[in-house]
Amino acid sequence: MDTAVLVVVVLLAVFVLVTLAKAVRIVPQARAGIVERLGRYQRTLNPGLTLVVPFIDRVLPLIDLREQVVSFPPQPVITQDNLVVSIDIVVYYQVNEPRDATYEISNYIHAIEQLAVTTLRNVIGGMDLERTLTSREEINRALRGVLDDATGKWGIRVNRVELKAIDPPPSIQEAMEKQMRADRDKRAAILNAEGQRQSEILTAEGNKQSAILNAEGNKQSEILNAEAGKQAQILKADGKAKAIHTVFDAIHRGNPDQKLLSYQYLQMLPQIAQGDANKLWIVPSEIGDALEGLGAAVGKFGQTSGTLPGSGETPRGGATQEEEAEAIEEAVTESEEAVQKAQTEVQQALQAAQAASVSENPDRPVANLQGSPDSLSGTAAESAGTDVESSEETATPPPPPSDEPPPRQE
C-alpha cells in the first residue's frame, strides 16, 4: 500500500509540474504569440511572462515581428521587344499584425513571392531592354506600391523591393559588350583626336610665338647692326676727315717745293699701270711738266749752292770754286740718275700694261703706248742750267688691223 501511495504522489507531482509548465509562457522581445482557446482565437501574447490555462488554451508558434529579407530565385521575364531576361528580386517586409498574418493567409512568404513575380512581369512587359536595364528605381517603386497594397490586409508591410540582378541572354550580352566596346573605342578615338588637335594648336601657337620673337630679334639685331654701321661709318668719316686735315696741315706746314712733288708724281706712275683689270694705259701729258719741274729744281739747287759766274761773290761757308763745281756736278749727276730711273719705271709700267692687255684679248689690236725717252723729257744736263724743254706726248694711233693676230708678248 505504501508503494501505491508513493506512486500516486509522484504522479501528482509530475502532473503539477506539467500543468505549471503549460500554464507559464515566456515570450521573447520582438516576438508575438497567438493563443487559441478550444480552437478559437483568444488573445495575442506580448513579450514577457504570461499565464495560460493549461489543456484549454493552445499557443501557436511565435511570430517574428522584426523586418525580414527574402530573396526569390531568378524569374524569366519577357520585355516589350521580345527579349527574355532573368531578374532576381529581394523583398524587405515586416509583420505588423500577427493575428492577420496568421488567419488572413496561410503562407504569406509564398504569397509575396508570387505577387512579386506577377507584378514584375507586368511592369517589365511595358519596357524594352534598354529601359529595363536603366530603370531599376522605377521598377522598384512599381513593385513596392503593388505589394504594399496587396499585403496590407495580411498584416504585413513591404518596406522595399530591390532588383538584385538583370541578366539578358548570352547573345544579347555579347552584342551589348561589342556595342560598349565600340562606344569606348569611339570615345577613345575622339579623345585622341581632341588631344592631337589641342597638341597641334599649342604647337602652332608656340611656333607662331617663336617666329614672332625671332622676327622681333632679327629686327632689333638689324636695327642695332645698322646703328653700329652708321656709327662706324661716321667714326671712319670723322677719322678720315681728321687724317686728311692733319695731312693737309702737315703739307702746308712743310711747304713742299716743286722737286718733291715732281718726284712723288713720277713714283706714282708705275702704280697706276699695275692691276689685272688694266687693258689700256695712256701716258699723261703732264709727265713732261713734272720732269721740267724736277730739272728746274735741280738747276735752282745748283744756282743757290755757289757763286754765280761773274758775280764775284764768295760761296757760303767759305767754299772755293772747285768745291762749288764739284757740288754742282754731283747735283747734276743725281738729277740725271733720278730722271733715268723715272723713265725706266715708266717704260716698265707701259710694257706691263701692254702685255696684260694682249694676254687678256689676243685678237684685239693694242695701241703702241711706248715712247722714246727724248719725247718724255729733256736731258738732265740741259735742265741743270736752263729750263727743261719738254713736249706733251700723246699715244700714237693703233696700227691698221691685220688678218693675223699680233704676237703675244710675255
Q: What would the pLDDT profile of 49-97 be if each residue is shown by its tens digit?
A: 888 888 888 888 899 999 999 998 898 999 988 888 999 999 999 999 9
Nearest-angstrom CA–CA distance, 266 and 391:
16
Close Cβ partners of 261 (under 8 Å, ≥ 6 residues apart): 290, 293
Residue 212 or 351, more confident: 212
Close Cβ partners of 291 (under 8 Å, ≥ 6 residues apart): 262, 266, 339, 342, 376, 377, 378, 383, 388, 390
- pLDDT given at position 362: 54
Q: Which of 241, 285, 243, 240 is nearest to 265 (CA)?
A: 285
Residue 363: pLDDT over 60: no
Element (H, E) at 161: strand 156-167
Q: What would the pLDDT profile of 146-167 be if each residue is shown by its tens digit?
A: 888 888 889 999 988 998 888 8
Residue 342 or 134, more confident: 134
- The SS3 call for residue 159 is strand
Q: Which of 89, 71, 70 is nearest to 166 (CA)?
A: 89
- pLDDT given at position 316: 43
C-beta of residue 12 within 8 angstroms of C-beta of residue 29? no
C-beta of residue 142 within 8 angstroms of C-beta of residue 119? yes
Q: What would the pLDDT profile of 338-359 be if each residue is shown by its tens digit?
A: 667 766 766 776 676 666 555 5
Q: 200 falls in which pLDDT band (50, 70, 90)? A: very high
Q: What average pLDDT does range 30-51 have in this prediction?
A: 88
Residue 403: pLDDT over 50: no
Q: 252 falls in which pLDDT band (50, 70, 90)? A: confident
- pLDDT given at position 202: 92
Q: What is the CA radius of gyration of the chain?
A: 71
- pLDDT given at position 291: 57
- pLDDT given at position 168: 87
DSSP assignment of 23-76 equals HEEEEPTTEEEEEEETTEEEEEEPSEEEE--TTTEEEPPPEE-S-EEEEEEEEE
Q: What would the pLDDT profile of 257-295 be if each residue is shown by its tens digit?
A: 666 666 666 666 666 666 666 556 555 555 566 556 555
% of the chain beyond a pLDDT of 90: 17
C-beta of residue 100 within 8 angstroms of C-beta of residue 155? yes
- The SS3 call for residue 160 is strand
Nearest-angstrom CA–CA distance, 310 and 333:
24
Average pLDDT taken over every residue of the chain: 75
